[in-house]
Amino acid sequence: MENGHEARFLTPKKTEAKRPAWLAGSAEIAFNSDESLLTVDVDSGEIKPFLSASGDAPAFMHPCAYPGERAVVAVSFNETADGRRAGVLFKVTPEAWTPLTTFPEVCAGRPGVSPDGETIVFAGNAGRFAQGANQLWIVRPNEKPRRLEQDEPALAQGRAPRWSPDGKWIAFASTRPAPDPNEKTPKAVWVISAGGGEATRLTGHDFNPLQVAWSPDQTQLACGGFGCGLALLDLPERFRRQ
């Protein structure tokens, strides 16, 4: 507690509540708990499944809310017959779940929704689960997913992508140019145009963050991760909202 402020828990303290995502235009927060997709009402504290009728729904992880509608993009992981871990992106509403990607075309990971709700950026890999060696991928409704950069995979490695508030840039963590990246390879913060092109490195690899988040005014990035303290990074003028 600092300056008289104390955290108000919305779930029991021992609940494993991960990847919180505010749902558009509501007082609800979606989150993961034991691979279940739940919501909590900020005002009443009511916790309930996001899906109104789960039926044979897969387990969903890493939700990210769509702007302007009660929906999230989330990842479902399952084991294939040959023992490979498959990750597929879905657009999930309380009534339905619609696949956005297929495996083994791409093994999808943590996604982010563009500010206009039309495009998903995600970390993924063609045909294999290898988080430490992921690249950035783009998918839109009724289109096949494609890599944002066409360089050699190790030179286009990227994790935990996040859109800028104006939709023009994507910030992410990357091990590039390490030739054979894995989970332990140090990472730096990078920014790339949402349309692709050459990425710009903003920090050294000794910083080693895993995740980034844009400030609402698009002047800073918050950066953090496992074994990395939370830090703020001032953005060069070209990446700020014009």
Average pLDDT on 166-191 reads: 92
Residue 117 has pLDDT above 70, yes or no: yes
- Rounded to 5 degrees, φ, ψ at 224 are -165, -175
Strands (E), 85-236: 85-92, 97-99, 107-113, 120-125, 135-139, 146-147, 159-163, 169-174, 188-193, 200-201, 211-214, 220-225, 228-234
pLDDT value of residue 232: 85
214 against 12, higher pLDDT:
214
User: Mean pLDDT across the chain, nearest whole number?
Assistant: 87
Rounded CA-CA distance 174/201 in Å is 9
Reported as a single tens digit per residue, the pLDDT across 17-45 is 778 888 887 788 888 887 788 898 888 88
**pLDDT exceeds 60 at position 4:** no
> What average pLDDT score do residues 141-164 get?
91
What does the buried/exposed string (b/e) look like for 14-48 if buried means 16 or more CB atoms within 10 Å of the residue's CB?
eeebebebebeeeebbbbbeeeebbbbeeeeeebe
pLDDT of residue 238: 95
Give the number of other Cβ atoms within 10 Å of residue 8's Cβ: 7
Of 29-33, 113-117, 161-165, the poorest mean pLDDT is in 29-33
pLDDT at residue 228, as a whole number: 63
* Residue whose tokens read 């919180």: 20
Contacts of 146 (CB under 8 A, 6+ apart): 137, 138, 139
What are the pLDDT digits (tens) for 36-89?
A: 888 988 888 888 999 886 668 888 988 999 998 999 999 998 887 676 678 899
User: SS3 helix, strand, coil % of the chain, rounded to 5?
Assistant: 5, 45, 55
State the Cα–Cα distance between residues 172 and 196, nearest whole angstrom: 13
Report percent pLDDT > 90 for the chain: 45
pLDDT tens by residue, 203-226? 888 888 888 889 999 999 988 866
Contact 136, 148 (CB under 8 A): yes
According to the model, what pLDDT value does residue 1 have?
A: 39
Query: 200 is written with which tokens?
Result: 């710009």
Whole-model pTM: value is: 0.87
What is residue 67's predicted lDDT score, i.e. its pLDDT? 93
Worst-scoring range by mean pLDDT, 55-59, 157-161, 162-166? 55-59
When pLDDT is cut at 50, 70 and 90, the band that residue 227 belongs to is low
Assess contact for 188 and 174: CB atoms under 8 A. Answer: yes
d(CA 81, CA 129): 14
Residues 157-177 have a mean pLDDT of: 94
What distance, in Å, lies between the first and last C-alpha atoms of the chain? 37
